[in-house]
Amino acid sequence: MTILCLDLKSLKCPLPALHTQKYISKMNFGEEVMIEATDPLSQIDIPHTIAQSKAQLISTSEKNGIFIFHVKCNKTLGQ
């Protein structure tokens, strides 16, 4: 399975969370995405956005100032 990367680096709050919300809303069951962001507030905003969606936060990490979120869609669009 191919995991896509959503590049939100250099975007400032609230844009990373808004782009994450929009992307997740269009995901299909089982799809995965790696989200990369540099805004420090994304460490709070993106997990919160994911928790309120149809997706599951699989893991988070940070490398060289880039925050990485591994997300998987766990519900169908109608749920």
Tokens of 65: 């100032």
- Predicted structure pTM score: 0.90
Mean pLDDT across 15-32:
94
Q: Is the pLDDT of residue 8 over 90?
A: yes
Domain membership of residue 37 (yes or no) is: yes
Averaged confidence pLDDT in the chain: 92
In the sheet where 4-8 sits, what is the strand order? 4-8, 32-37, 66-73, 55-63
At residue 23, the 3 state secondary structure works out as helix
Domain membership of residue 79 (yes or no) is: no
Residue 23: which CATH number? 3.30.110.40
Domain count, the chain: 1
Mean pLDDT across 2-31:
94
Domain membership of residue 58 (yes or no) is: yes
Q: Is the pLDDT of residue 76 over 80?
A: no
Q: Are 18 and 24 in contact (CB under 8 A)?
A: no
